[in-house]
Structure 1
Amino acid sequence: MKNYLEEGVPTIEEARLLLEDGKRLFPGPWIEHSINAGKAAELMAKNCNDLNSDVALVLGMLHDIGVRFGPTYMKHTLLGYNFAMEKGYHKVARICLTHSFNCNDIRSSFGRWDHCSDEEYNFIKDYIETVKYDDYDKLIQLCDALALPSGYCLMEKRMVDVALRHGMHEHIIDKWKATFETKLYFEEKMGKSLYSVLPGVVENTFK
């Protein structure tokens, strides 16, 4: 059976199996969040002429796959990268690192680095500072900012939700500005509001 959707990306079925295995190892709302991020990426990609909606779905589903190893905070990005690289899914591995950093500065991220060694931290730092984001990187960053375990909401609600859980710091505004720039980029690309392609935004935002 073919396990690759395209080079570096597993099939949708394989992605589902990886999430199921992740749920068995470390159950939690990250599973529903990942599924919803994948669906959002798929729906948006269907409205962009140059993106593959199946690839977008899989990348969104697996962006947090490093969480399968437990509560390691920001190290989940590197754990996901290593896990995906070992399986030959280099495009997934890239997304595992880039999804948390809307601008090329890891100081802008929420979360703690407690579980990372200096070597691991510097690897992530160097990677993010030198990588040139493509549309899939930007798409998953955006969908990560929209997807709750319960569905989709206004980005502002998700931002406040994350800020309340992780706290604020001096670089957060840069992250938020980059997120809104990405939102505008895809709305121009699609020719419509991103909220018009995502179901349940009003219900999830105001319930």
Structure 2
Amino acid sequence: MLTIQQANEQLQTAYQKNPGPWVEHSRSVAENARRIAEHTDCIDPDTAYTMGLLHDIGRAAGVSGIRHIFDGYDRMIALGQPTIARICLTHSFPLKNIRAFQGSFDCSKQQLAFLQRFLDSCSYDNYDRLIQLCDALSLPSGACILEKRLVDVALRHGINDLSLEKWSAFLQLKQHFDRLCRCNLYTLLPNVLENSSVDLI
């Protein structure tokens, strides 16, 4: 596993190739994942932080939709980091169905087939689940309530026949980590009230 310093170096290099708010979003995911992990008995905070930093590292290759998860996977495999590579693939899929992705399918049929096989064969652990949750509730400026973020994504990318099932999966993740933390996890995260009060339109 890369150290936090090495992960930060990877993220900084990626930012130089493709600047954008995705980098601060990644830092926010990392911070929120670490804060939640610190209140559990089963998740290493530094590992969670590293995974959060690099979950979107495929965006170094440029603006893209689903392609960024393949670019991230390939980049991490090339570095000998299969655990982080896995997070690059799983972070967008609380539902193990590629059709649940919200965004453009800018990849090949072969890549989609590989992704579905990977998801089908993968047994999610708490790191997969934590980064899925933190990706969904993290803004560049901190966290917001999950429902607000889900509506924000829907307004920008639309919904499909799997959207409600996907939303339910995210809400179940929130409940899962509330139980692991033995509290409402929103109390652990920065700027939840401020970010959740901003108008979406």
TM over 0.5: yes
Give the total of aligned pairs.
198
* 2:172 alignment counterpart: 181
Which blocks of at least 5 consecutive residues in structure 2 are unaligned?
none
| In structure 2, distance between residues paired with 1:22 and 1:165 | 24
| In structure 2, distance between residues paired with 1:193 and 1:154 | 11
* 1:134 alignment counterpart: 125
Is 1:24 aligned with 2:1?
A: no
**Aligned AA (1:22):** A
What's the secondary structure of 1:168's corresponding residue?
A: coil
Is 1:158 aligned with 2:163?
A: no
**Which aligned runs of 4 or more in structure 1 are off by greater than 6 angstroms?**
none
| In structure 1, distance between residues paired with 2:107 and 2:194 | 38
Is 1:84 aligned with 2:80?
A: no
Q: Deviations over 1:9-37 (max 9, x none)?
A: 21000111111011100000100000000
* 2:29 alignment counterpart: 37
| In structure 2, distance between residues paired with 1:190 and 1:150 | 23
| In structure 2, distance between residues paired with 1:112 and 1:126 | 20
Same amino acid, percent of matched pairs: 41
| In structure 2, distance between residues paired with 1:29 and 1:166 | 17
Is 1:199 aligned with 2:190?
A: yes
Q: CA deviation at 1:72?
A: 2.1
| The one of 54, 59, 78 aligned to 1:62 | 54
| The one of 96, 99, 110 aligned to 2:91 | 99
Is 1:50 aligned with 2:42?
A: yes
Is 1:172 aligned with 2:160?
A: no
Which blocks of at least 5 consecutive residues in structure 1 are unaligned?
1-8
Q: Deviations over 1:66-98 (max 9, x none)?
A: 011012210111110110010011111000000
| In structure 2, distance between residues paired with 1:195 and 1:162 | 20
| In structure 2, distance between residues paired with 1:200 and 1:20 | 24
| In structure 2, distance between residues paired with 1:119 and 1:108 | 18
**Aligned AA (2:25):** H
